[in-house]
Homo-oligomer: A and B are copies of this chain.
């Protein structure tokens, strides 16, 4: 590489790492806000986060940054990796310069307000407390969509933030395929004897749950010297670099499942973040591919592994040691209980099948909010109606209805579809891995070491090098194919629901 290119590329690294430092500092402040911030600190914290976001944005959209990227784009003596970084940073730059600093600040402050309103609304169990701050966020997101621009649906512009190239056309088609397939499986199940899960709703001591969750994280390869777990209102994963990945969980003393599978879910996210290449810190190739791939990682560990029979055959005795109240429940009954299929109110607690209906409801709802055909005030009624339509359940109150997810309060519109898509990717990855005898043998005896190694080789190190579908093709030989998930679901649930 010519000296000039080398020094230009070094300059690029230095600028982008500086921007990353500020963005990740903002992430630390947000993490703290959801875990440890004293109540009265909200307002100043909001402006501190807004200033950091604005500062990072200013630095990123500086004309000098653009000129540097342009100059590097013309260089032929960059490595493949370097070229891809410049290409992606240029894409990001072109997207970011569309936003003024004041727009970024406005967004950041509106989100801060809406997050606290969401917390308050949940406490009051009243959507009205959240309505106005949410309406403000929706207005800004609509503005964002029109600033970004789109050819099809305005919602495409927002989904792009979570999975580049994802469109309403694609997702509509995917869901149109998935919904009848799921309905068919659910219909089959409905003729079988329902499984019993009463014993999961006993009292499970809080400290014992926390301790068990921490043990699970260790067993599932999460590096606690490069990350930690804390408690928050809504479980999430955030990362300040691959050596400092933070998970959160929540504990319900009357429902052991809540903590356990949210812990495994976030662990899946955390493993991906810890596996990203540290030497690419601050550059696109040090960042995750897409939210769909991120969710494929969380759903893979949560469901394909964490609700599998082989895993619990090995792990169940440990669980019983931690919670002797399960002593009289055998492994098979436990396994069935954690896979009980039943339409329900809360997405994060839903079974693997009806889960997708929760996602479809949100997806349809968000599309309407962003295209402007539904107002914030109409959310509860629409929500409750859709839960009736899709799941046949009656929503008793806002907390168990349209106030259950943190996403909107964070300004995350366009996110939800990635949960379903992630689940589809997860099954495709898992069934591909299981074609390798060693992996399959280990997994069948409850081990996950080789699965982790495979992901460490096939998924984590690539960062944003590939888009979702290309990464999927690279790892499995073909792009996203929902048939893998449908096969997985049919096989699994026909064994659980037998008579």
Q: CB < 8 Å: which of B26, B38, B243 contacts A244? A: B38
Interface of A is mostly: helix
Q: Is A21 an interface residue (CB 8 A)?
A: yes
Q: Are A243 and B40 in contact (CB under 8 A)?
A: yes
Evaluate contact between B25 and A48: CB separation under 8 angstroms: yes
User: Is A285 part of the binding interface, using a Cβ–Cβ cutoff of 8 Å?
Assistant: no
Contact indicator B22/A225 (Cβ below 8 Å): no
Closest to A31 in B: B32
Residue from A25, A47, A228, A241 having most chain B Cβ neighbours under 10 A: A25
> Is A37 interfacial (CB-CB < 8 Å)?
yes
Any chain B CB within 8 A of the CB of A326? no
Give Cα A147 to B76, complex, Å.
45
How many whole Å from A142's CB to the nearest CB in chain B?
28
Please report the C-alpha to C-alpha distance between residue A224 and residue B41 in the assembled complex, in whole angstroms. 11
The residue in A37, A225, A243 that gathers the most chain B C-beta atoms within 10 A of its C-beta is A243
From known contacts A29-B25, A29-B28, A52-B21, infer whether A225 and B40 are also in contact, taking CB-CB under 8 Å: yes
B225 touches A38 (CB 8 A): yes
**Assembled-state Cα–Cα distance A55/B19 (Å):** 11
A399 interface residue (CB < 8 Å to B): no
Interface string of A211-241 (1 = CB under 8 A from B): 0000000000001111110100000000011
Known A-B contacts A32-B28, A55-B22, A55-B55; the reply to A44 vs B241 at CB < 8 A is: yes
Whether A226 and B41, one on each chain, are in contact in the complex, defined by CB atoms closer than 8 angstroms, is yes
Shortest CB–CB separation between residue A229 and chain B, in angstroms?
10
Instruction: State the CA gap A115–B38 with chains docked (Å).
Output: 27
Does A51 reach chain B (CB closer than 8 Å)? yes
Closest Cβ of chain B to A412, distance in Å, is 22
A400 contacts chain B at the CB level, 8 A cutoff: no
A6 CB to closest chain B CB, in angstroms?
21
Q: Which one of A18, A21, A32, A39 has the greatest number of beta carbons of chain B within 10 Å?
A: A21
Give the contacting residue for A228; candidates B36, B44, B241, B244; CB below 8 A.
B36
Tell me whether A258 is interfacial, beta carbon within 8 Å. no
A18 lies within 8 A of B51 (CB) = yes
Report chain B residues within 8 Å CB of A230. 36
For A228, what are the chain B residues with a Cβ–Cβ distance below 8 Å? 36, 38
Contacts of A197 in B (CB 8 A): none
Interface residues of A in 242-270 (CB under 8 A from B): 243-244
- Residue A456, interface by CB 8 Å: no
| Chain B min CB distance to A396 (Å) | 31
Taking a contact as CB atoms under 8 Å apart, the answer to whether B51 and A22 are in contact is: yes
Q: Are B47 and A21 in contact (CB under 8 A)?
A: yes
CA distance A24 to B46 in the complex (A): 12
Judge whether B55 and A244 touch: CB under 8 Å.
Answer: no
Shortest Cβ distance from residue A34 to the other chain B in the assembled complex, whole angstroms: 13
Once the chains bind, are A41 and B240 in contact (CB under 8 Å)?
yes
9 tightest A-B contacts by CB?
A41-B244, A21-B51, A44-B241, A40-B243, A40-B226, A21-B48, A39-B225, A41-B243, A40-B225
- Listed by A's residue number, 9 A-B pairs whose Cβ atoms lie within 8 Å are A17-B47, A21-B50, A25-B25, A25-B51, A28-B48, A37-B244, A40-B223, A41-B226, A48-B240
